[in-house]
Amino acid sequence: MIEVYVDGASAGDPGRSGAGVFIKGHGKAEEFSIPLGLMTNHEAEYHAVIKGMEICIQKEYRVVSFRTDSQLVDRAIEKQFVKNNQYSPLLEKILELSKQFDLFFIKWIPSKENNVADQLARNAIHNQS
């Protein structure tokens, strides 16, 4: 099983944003720092999941366990529902991508357990001009 830690961050709300993706599995670790442009922190959290899923699909990882420190995103995916319609297209994209895995699930973790993905997301913000 592949473990995927994701985090989104924004410098402002909205502001320059980034996604951090940290993948552990098959005896190796991979780190991705992805600039996202201008968006809110919540949007960045959703985009971090999407980017992580796209990376896993590209690498043909079929059984994945995602970890996020965003309760908003975790609950939305688990319930397949968002209160704020602004996030509906992002949730739909996640649900569509999840069909490409043999097994996909997401789990909320405390921020202190998501330090690597958090730092990767912050690096992505600082690497934008």
Looking at the predicted structure, is the pLDDT value of residue 127 above 90? Answer: no
Torsion of CA 60, 64, 70, 72, to 10 degrees: 90
- Joined together, the tokens standing for residue 119 give 């730092």
Host domain of residue 110: 2-126
CATH number of the domain where residue 14 is located: 3.30.420.10
pTM of the model: 0.97
**Cα dist from 97 to 18, 55, 56, 101, whole Å:** 20, 11, 10, 8
Total domains in the chain come to 1
Residue range 51-95, pLDDT digits in tens = 999 999 999 999 999 999 999 999 999 999 999 999 999 999 999
Looking at the predicted structure, is the pLDDT value of residue 120 above 70? Answer: yes
